[in-house]
Amino acid sequence: MDGFNTRAIHAGQAPDPETGAVVTPIYQVSTYAQDGVGGLRNGYEYSRSGNPTRTALQECLAALEAPGIESARGLAFASGLAAEDTLIRTVLKPGDHVVLPNDAYGGTYRLFKKVAEPWGIDLTTAAVTDPDAIAAAMTPKTKLVWIETPTNPLLNIGDIAAIAEVAHAGGALLVIDNTFASSYLQQPLLLGADVVIHSTTKYLGGHSDVVGGALVVADAELGEQLAYHQNAMGAIAGPFDSWLVMRGIKTLGVRMDRHNDNAAKVVELLEGHAGVGQVFYPGLPSHPNHEVAKKQMSGFGGMVSFRVKAGEQAALDICSATTLFTLGESLGGVESLIEHPGRMTHASVSGSPLEVPNDLVRLSVGIEEADDLIADLEKALH
C-alpha cells in the first residue's frame, strides 16, 4: 500500500473476519473472555490496555506518518495534551532540560510551565526558524527539542532535517507537533524527527466531533516505553473516539487538498486588502520560510493568520462580524473558524515569551465554497 489515500482507507482496517464488515467495528467493551487463566484471546484482556478499534487506528497512524518503517508505532490518546503529558512522563525526569518553541500552542506551553516545570523540568524557548538558536539554547541536560511546524498561530516553519541534526548532536530527541500540517502534507519521521504529535481533534478527525491525540515514533524501544506508560497512565482513546478519528482519516487527503485551495484564495484576498497589515501563510513567496516549507511539505495547509492595521479592537470586531467563519477555538474541521488568539487559544501565554500580537486574527479555512468564504471575510473586513 504505497499511496497515502490507500493507506488512509486500508491500513489497520481489513474487513472484519467474522462478518466481512468493511468498516472496523466499534468494540464498545471494557473486558474480554480469556481462554484459561492468562490465556488472552488475540492479546486482549482489558480495554485500557488494548482495544481492537484503537489498535486499528494506531496501526493506521503509524502507516501514514512512517510509511516503510517497520518499527514505527502509533499510539492514540484521549487528547493531544494527554499524548504530550505521556511523552513528558516517559522521556523526562526532574532535572532534565527541554527546548520549546517561542511560537506554539498555548496549551503546550501551559503544560510545561505549570505542570512540568514545578515537577523539576527546566525550559528554554528558541525560534523554530533558527537551528543555531536552538543549538545555543541546548545544555548537557537537554533531553527534548520540541517544535511545531507550521507553528500556532504565526505559521513559522522549522527546517525539520536541520533541527534533527542539531538535536541529535546534543543527545536530545526531536519532537514535532504535526497537527497543522497533518500526515498528508508532512511526515517528520522521514526527515529525522524522533516523535510526532497530533491533536487528532483537528485535521485527522476533521469534523469537529471528537477530541483525541496521538504519538507516532519510529524507534521500537521508545514505542514500547510509550505504550507501557499509555497503559499505566490510562489516558487512552476510547473505542468510539478511535472510530471517529479513523472515519475522518479516510477522507484526509481530499479534505486537505480543498483546505489548501481555499486557504490560498483567502490569502489572496487578505494580501490585497488595505486594512490588513501582515499575512502569515507559508505558501506565500514572501514568507521568510517559504523555501523550507516547499522542501518539506506537499502543500501549505488551511491555517492563515493576519494582523489588522487598526489594532486590537478592529481585530475583535472582525472576529464578531463573520457569518460562515464561526467564532470559536480549535481548527481543522470542515467548517471555517475564526478566533482572536490573544484573547482565546493563547490567553495562557500572555506576558510570556510566547505572547502573540493583540491585533492578530487566526483563520481555520474550511472546505466550503471559496467564493462564499471570501464574501464573508470581505464583509467583516469592511
Q: Does 180 share its domain with 312? A: no
Q: pLDDT tens-digit profile of 293-347? A: 999 999 999 999 999 999 999 999 999 999 999 999 999 999 999 999 999 999 9
State yes or no: pLDDT of 2 exceeds 90.
no
List the CATH number of the domain containing 366: 3.90.1150.10
Which string of DSSP letters, residue by residue, matches 6-48?
Answer: HHHHHTT-PPPTTT--SS------SB---SSTT--BTTBSBTT
- Amino acid letter, residue 365: V
Q: Does 328 share its domain with 373? A: yes
The residues pairing with 144 across neighbouring beta strands, listed in sequence order, are 98, 173
The residues pairing with 195 across neighbouring beta strands, listed in sequence order, are 175, 217
Q: Which pLDDT does position 18 carry in this prediction?
A: 87
End-of-domain residue from the set 249, 273, 291:
249
Q: Does 158 share its domain with 35? A: yes
List the CATH number of the domain containing 63: 3.40.640.10
Q: Which pLDDT does position 191 carry in this prediction?
A: 98
Q: Does 56 share its domain with 193? A: yes
Q: Does 221 share its domain with 369? A: no
Q: Does 193 share its domain with 51? A: yes
Q: Does 280 share its domain with 297? A: yes
CB 103 within 8 A of CB 156: yes
Return the H-helix or E-strand segment holding 185: helix 182-185
pLDDT-based confidence at residue 244 (cuts at 50, 70, 90): very high
Q: Does 110 share its domain with 165? A: yes
Q: pLDDT tens-digit profile of 35-79? A: 999 899 999 999 999 999 999 999 999 999 999 999 999 999 999
Q: Does 238 share its domain with 257? A: no
Q: Which pLDDT does position 206 carry in this prediction?
A: 98
Q: What is the mean pLDDT of the chain?
A: 97
Q: Does 91 share its domain with 15? A: yes
Residues labelled as active-site residues: 48, 105, 177, 202
End-of-domain residue from the set 249, 267, 288:
249
pLDDT-based confidence at residue 219 (cuts at 50, 70, 90): very high
The C-alpha angle with vertex 265 and arms to 180 and 159, in degrees rounded to 5, equals 35
Q: Does 49 share its domain with 9? A: yes
Structural domain of residue 210, as residue ranges? 4-249
Which string of DSSP letters, residue by residue, matches 68-106?
Answer: T-TT-EEEEESSHHHHHHHHHHHH--TT-EEEEESS--H
**Cα separation values, 218 from 41, 80, 175, Å:** 27, 19, 12
Global pTM reads 0.96
End-of-domain residue from the set 219, 249, 279:
249
Q: Does 271 share its domain with 236? A: no
Q: Which pLDDT does position 38 carry in this prediction?
A: 86
Helix, strand, coil % over all residues of the chain, rounded to 5: 40, 15, 45
Q: How many domains does the chain have?
A: 2
Q: Which three cell numbers stand for residue 277?
A: 497589515
pLDDT-based confidence at residue 1 (cuts at 50, 70, 90): low
The residues pairing with 44 across neighbouring beta strands, listed in sequence order, are 41
State yes or no: pLDDT of 248 exceeds 90.
yes
Going across the sheet that includes 142-148, the strands are 73-77, 213-217, 195-199, 173-177, 142-148, 97-101, 122-126
Q: Which pLDDT does position 286 carry in this prediction?
A: 96
